Amino acid sequence: MTTNFYPKHYCGVFGVFGHPDAAMLTYYGLQGIQHRGEESAGIVSSRGDNQPFRIHRGMGLVKDVFRPGNIRYLKGRQTVGHTRYSTTGPSQMCNAQPFMGTFAGGTEVALGHNGNLVNADELKAELPHTLFTSTTDSEVILSLLGAAKASDIVEALKLTLPRLRGAYSLVLLTRDSLIGVRDPFGFRPLCIGEKDGAFFLASETSAFMPIGVKFVRDVRPGEIVVMSRSGLSAVDAFPDHTQRALCIFEFVYFAKPDSNIDGHNVHVVRTRMGQELANEHPVATDVVISIPEGGDSAALGFSEELGIRPDRGFIRNHYIGRSFLKPTQKERENDAKLKLALIPDVVRGRRVVVIDDSIVRGTTSRTRVSQIKEAGAREVHVRVSCPPHLWSCFYGVDFPDRNKLLAVRHSVEEIRAFLNADSLGYLSLEGMVRATGRSANEFCLACFNGRYPVPPDQLA
């Protein structure tokens, strides 16, 4: 059918205002959201005086990009940090964030962006005399801010944000403030924290807990929050906008289970998805296993609802690199087997249910089913804790080509046969939404139903 594929995450942003160990806390904070971007990492720092910003960026994981000397160099009380997966623009050093620029009067500003604009090319064409150093939509935002005729950064944002179409959670650093922005639909999460009188911003609450930061609240859709020596203030940049569209894939796949998004714990929601899945697609089996780590919580809910014994069928090897970098399909398949090692004694002679969070292209899922059957399982039943992906995403999830989505070209029965599974069941859209405890009109469901909150210029 096609080659192996996993959807890439968006990006991760983090910021600190007013802490003497801001750079070190940002380093650890970025590790807490490393799952949102593994291609590059960067930190910009400010001492809060007239000295210029300091920056360090590099390709790779946070732990590999930064050394103790880099953290000492970045010493300051204000920082903005970023981890990246490429959504707009390839994986190159020129696209590593945060980006730096100048605002009115030569004031420095640094920006980290999580999301994707659907009108970036149009906006770029409006800046014909701007020399762009990257190929990302994030630098377009920074350039628009620099071109805005405004007296301060907040006014520049109020002029610029209405021109942006798509998804954006932003963290901006100036010499005397840290600013967080969330688009009016709230596609991407962004939250506020506090520690030792300092303020923090992060893509997920999972970045706060390991470093002792207390969660304060989420940045509201359409809100500009400003952190300065005067404290925390907020401006609603879109007071008349009421439509919400949080990406539901945050709960299905992207966010860490220990994160809370807009008041809902990710692990709890995924467990409910597993319960809904069990009610919709029950099956008589001997053991429930998951594809770690995305399917773990849903597997618990599935097994609990049906009273089937859960177990660990696969053990993840965290030291295997990303398989899509391998040049041949055989090498990618070998890496997939090394990345998740099967425990044969758990499945041998048993009827097995395998819970996965999603099937996008299907080849890796087929490899897992084959492993389980080769180990002696009597039956293998696959259950997926979200509906089939049928539409492209234009807001930052890296599966933009609709023709590469397995469910677009094949029925559920054809996918089951391709996987060589004894049965296959997807969670319904209604069941997925019900598991969140919220209504469908609060989410972006476009990759499942094709209804785009912000219509792109061309539907793929």
Q: Is residue 460 pLDDT above 70, yes or no?
A: no
Residue with tokens 């389980």: 372
pTM of the full structure: 0.90
**Fold classified for 260-444:** Rossmann fold (3.40.50)
Mean pLDDT value across residues 155-165: 95
Residue with tokens 């097995």: 352
Q: Is residue 200 pLDDT above 80, yes or no?
A: yes
Give me the residue spans of the domains in the chain.
11-243, 260-444
Looking at residue 316, its pLDDT comes to: 85
> Is 135 in contact with 94 (CB distance < 8 Å)?
yes
Q: How far apart are CA 29 and CA 154, in angstroms?
A: 25
* 183 token code pair: 């688009």
Within 13 Å, how many C-alpha atoms sit on residue 137's CB side? 26
Q: Is residue 347 pLDDT above 60, yes or no?
A: yes
Q: How far apart are CA 133 and CA 383, in angstroms?
A: 45
Q: How far apart are CA 115 and CA 168, in angstroms?
A: 5
Q: Is residue 364 pLDDT above 50, yes or no?
A: yes
Looking at residue 19, its pLDDT comes to: 97
Per the CATH hierarchy, to which homologous superfamily does domain 11-243 belong?
Aminohydrolase, N-terminal nucleophile (Ntn) domain (3.60.20.10)
> Is 251 in contact with 244 (CB distance < 8 Å)?
no
Q: pLDDT (tens digit, 9 = 90+) per residue, 94-105?
A: 778 899 988 776
Q: How far apart are CA 436 and CA 456, in angstroms?
A: 27
Poorest-pLDDT segment among 36-40, 126-130, 230-234, 434-438: 126-130
Cα distances (angstroms) measured from residue 152 to each of 105, 146, 177, 324: 10, 11, 11, 44
- Other C-beta atoms lying within 10 Å of the C-beta of residue 273: 29
pLDDT band at 319 (very low <50, low <70, confident <90, very high): low
Indicate the DSSP class of residue 211: G
Q: Show Cβ contacts of residue 153 under 8 Å, excluding neighbours closer than 6 positions.
A: 103, 107, 109, 145, 172, 174, 177, 179
The more confident residue out of 404 and 387 is: 387
∠ CA 110-111-117, nearest 5°, is 155
* Sign of the alpha-carbon torsion through 89, 172, 82, 238: negative
Q: How far apart are CA 35 and CA 257, in angstroms?
A: 12
Q: How far apart are CA 388 and CA 369, in angstroms?
A: 18
Q: How far apart are CA 240 and CA 245, in angstroms?
A: 15
Q: How far apart are CA 350 and CA 378, in angstroms?
A: 5
Looking at residue 138, its pLDDT comes to: 86
Residue with tokens 């932003």: 170
Report DSSP letters for 321-334, one per residue: --GGGSSSHHHHHH
Q: Report the catalytic residues.
A: 11
Q: Is residue 286 pLDDT above 90, yes or no?
A: yes
Mean pLDDT value across residues 304-315: 95
Mean pLDDT of the chain, nearest integer: 89
Looking at residue 331, its pLDDT comes to: 54
